[in-house]
Amino acid sequence: MSTTVNQAANGGVAQRGKRARAARRRATVWHFIGLLVVFLSSVFPFYWMVTTSLKSQSDALAYPPKWLFSPTFHHYSAALFEHDVAGSLLNSLIIASSTTVLAILLGTPAAYALARYEFRGKEDLWFWFISNRMVSPVVLAVPFFLIATKLDIVDTHIVLILLYLTFSLPIVVWICTDQFRNIPVELDEAARLDGASPWRVFWRINLPLAMPGIVVSAIFAFIFSWNDLLYALVLTRTEAITSPVAATSYMSGYELPWGEIMATGTLIVLPMVVFALLVSGRLVQGLTMGAVK
Amino acid sequence: MANGTVASATQPRRPRKHARRFGILPRSPAFWFLFPAIFALAVIGIYPLLLALYNSFHQYKLADLASGTPFVGVDNYIATLSDPSFWGALGRTALFLCLTLPIEIALGLFAALMLHRMDLRFMRAAARVSLVIPMATTYAVVGLIGRLIFNRQFGVANYLTGLFGIPPQDWLADPTLAFVSVMIMDIWQWTPFCALIMLAGLSMVPKEAEEAARLETPKWSMILWHLQRPYLLPGLTAILILRSADMLKMFDAVFTMTRGGPGAATEFISVYIQRVGFRLFDQGMASAQAIILLILTIVLSRLYIRFVYREAA
């Protein structure tokens, strides 16, 4: 009798095990579908932009939409050279890299001071740096337009390089402060005992050790500057227009050259996607001002 | 910013050695490390704000400079606060936030839970990487993609809704649908941000506790509510405040997608101020509106510091 009970019990366990395995497999299938949905919905609009940029005008305007088509690079050459997107990309590159370099030069010493020294008003200073992330560009664009008009620097690189410092500098300060805090303060103390000046301690010891954070913050500063439209729209006319402004300038006229517009979009976005992938592990930190890691 | 107070003294409790080292203001290295950044931000960030404040008390019409820029007191503020289109833009922005944010958080939580679950290593990595794409897409280009997808004649949105038997719509010409289209593009771009923040929260849950909970109950909703919720809350606070600030800033994607139209259906606060300042050329009025917007922003940043940084510290 005891054996039959055992057998029954064993059968139950086996049954339950089988059922649990089936449930796990079902869960895995749903998990797979869920991940697929996440992937497809993230990629689709981007995919649609890239494929439209490779379609001929008639394929791009076809309805129902064409999923298969013979690709052409015609729109890229048309956008780059006929519509002079090449010039605007160059402007964007000059402006975004200049502001990034400036932000690093000005921001890393400030970040070092915030990480290493205690002083009155430090919290207020910190608060002020953070507020800059929140301020709508339109708040500064209105008065800055008048200043730029008065100084006659509308439609120059320099005006955007300076304006973009309002967000690139804070991002450098946030990320680098965090980085400097992680460098053992004992290194500073040892160097100071050997008679190194504060500047030397910063320049020769801390800066090289903080390089990973500095590179990440530089990439963020570059991405944010590259992506701006409002400032560039207000403060440039023809000479210094950046690529997002060039992308919006197709918007007049009767039949829109969708292939060229999407080719321009792809040229603008693709380098940013590559940059963002490089810092994907720190993306949240950059977008939340270091509050969430 | 009063530079004089920034680096003036160390904390009094510090040992004397430090006090001597950083005692007098300009000799403190902290001051010289900070000075260039503060100076630059003050010139490009604070001086224009002061100018905006000054202009907001004056008549300043770029199209009518012949009549000068007389002092008008708080007239611009009164005109703004009694202007229904200003409140309309602000209300629309708030409505957009209230409709969009819950969807972004819900979808973000879904994506985060999917990415947090073990197994399917390759698919998880692919989905994780794909989340970067919307976040990296230039806002202006998001608007252009929106115009392409929601095009009346050949847009893929009509094709996709057509699969469910819904007749084609003129998305960007109908006020409600244009609002929804802008919402959809915003949700596309910012759900990954919410997902990654919540994923960071989920990964803070101790592994042992989570394994124990999974042995206790197979229900993910129980685990989410009782075990994971406290770890998600700080991130949610950050999302709430940052997304609110972003909505106040929202300009680029709307400008390229709808220009605020049709009518004023998608004219959010930054788009509205830009129109007043640079299409109607009323700089005095736009300055007053910008100052009001700035005050809202400062409140939000205060909240952010109060609830996100202080909690974390």
The CA distance from A148 to A184, in Å, is: 44
Residue A255 lies in a domain: yes
How many domains, in total, are found in chain A? 2
Min Cα distance B273 → chain A (Å) is 7
Residue A67 lies in a domain: no
Kindly list the residues from chain B whose CB atom is less than 8 angstroms away from the CB atom of residue A134.
245, 248-249, 297-298, 300-301, 304
CATH number, domain containing residue A100: 1.10.3720.10
Q: pLDDT at residue B16 above 50?
A: no
Residue closest to A46 by CA, chosen among B266, B142, B176: B142
What pLDDT sits at residue A98?
A: 97
> Searching chain B, which residue's CA lies closest to the CA of residue A24?
B218
Residue closest to A219 by CA, chosen among A282, A270, A134: A282
Out of B14-18, B172-176, B293-297, pick the least confident.
B14-18
Residues A110 and A255 reside in one and the same domain: yes
Residue A232 lies in a domain: yes
Residues A104 and A204 reside in one and the same domain: yes
pLDDT band at B146 (very low <50, low <70, confident <90, very high): very high
- Cβ A165 vs Cβ B40: under 8 Å: yes
Q: pLDDT at residue A33 above 90?
A: yes
Residues A144 and A16 reside in one and the same domain: no
- A interface mutation test: which of B31, B34, B304 has the most A CBs within 10 A? B34
**pTM, full prediction:** 0.87
Average pLDDT, chain B: 86
Answer whether A142 sits within 8 Å of B290, measured CB to CB. Answer: yes
Kindly list the residues from chain A whose CB atom is less than 8 angstroms away from the CB atom of residue B55.
142-143, 146
**Chain segment B187-217, per-residue pLDDT in tens:** 999 999 999 999 999 988 898 888 888 888 8
pLDDT band at A1 (very low <50, low <70, confident <90, very high): very low
What pLDDT sits at residue A254?
A: 66
Residue A239 lies in a domain: yes
Q: Rounded to 5 degrees, what angle do the CA atoms B191, B194, A103 make?
A: 100
Residue A154 lies in a domain: yes
- Cβ A136 vs Cβ B293: under 8 Å: yes
**Chain segment B147-166, per-residue pLDDT in tens:** 999 998 888 999 999 999 89
Residues A21 and A165 reside in one and the same domain: no
pLDDT band at A174 (very low <50, low <70, confident <90, very high): confident
Residues A35 and A83 reside in one and the same domain: no
| Residue B50, Cβ density class (10 Å: 0-12 exposed, 13-18 middle, ≥19 buried) | exposed
Residues A113 and A189 reside in one and the same domain: yes
Domains, chain B, in order of start with CATH, read 3-55 (no CATH), 77-312 (1.10.3720.10)
Nearest Cβ partner for B120 among A32, A112, A198: A32
What pLDDT sits at residue A20?
A: 81
- A interface mutation test: which of B54, B144, B248, B295 has the most A CBs within 10 A? B144
Nearest Cβ partner for B8 among A23, A120, A134: A120
- B interface mutation test: which of A142, A264, A266 has the most B CBs within 10 A? A142
Residue A59 lies in a domain: no
Residues A149 and A265 reside in one and the same domain: yes
Residue A233 lies in a domain: yes
Residues A22 and A82 reside in one and the same domain: no
- Map tokens 């992308």 to a residue: A247
Q: Which two tokens stand for residue A160?
A: 């955007």
What pLDDT sits at residue B12?
A: 45
Q: What is the mean pLDDT of residues B9-32?
A: 54
Answer whether A125 sits within 8 Å of B274, measured CB to CB. Answer: no
**Chain segment B86-142, per-residue pLDDT in tens:** 999 999 999 999 999 999 999 999 999 999 988 888 999 999 999 999 999 999 999
Residues A99 and A208 reside in one and the same domain: yes
> Searching chain A, which residue's CA lies closest to the CA of residue B156?
A65
Q: pLDDT at residue B8 above 50?
A: no
Residues A115 and A40 reside in one and the same domain: no
Residue A66 lies in a domain: no
The CA distance from A3 to B111, in Å, is: 50
The CA distance from A13 to A26, in Å, is: 20
Min Cα distance B199 → chain A (Å) is 10
Residues A6 and A127 reside in one and the same domain: no
A213 alpha carbon, distance to own chain's centre = 15
Residues A176 and A37 reside in one and the same domain: no
Q: What CA–CA distances, in Å, run from A225 to A154, A162, A213, B294, B296? A: 17, 11, 18, 21, 24
**Chain segment A125-169, per-residue pLDDT in tens:** 887 887 887 888 888 888 899 899 999 999 999 999 999 999 999
pLDDT band at B64 (very low <50, low <70, confident <90, very high): confident
For residue A11, give its domain range: 2-54
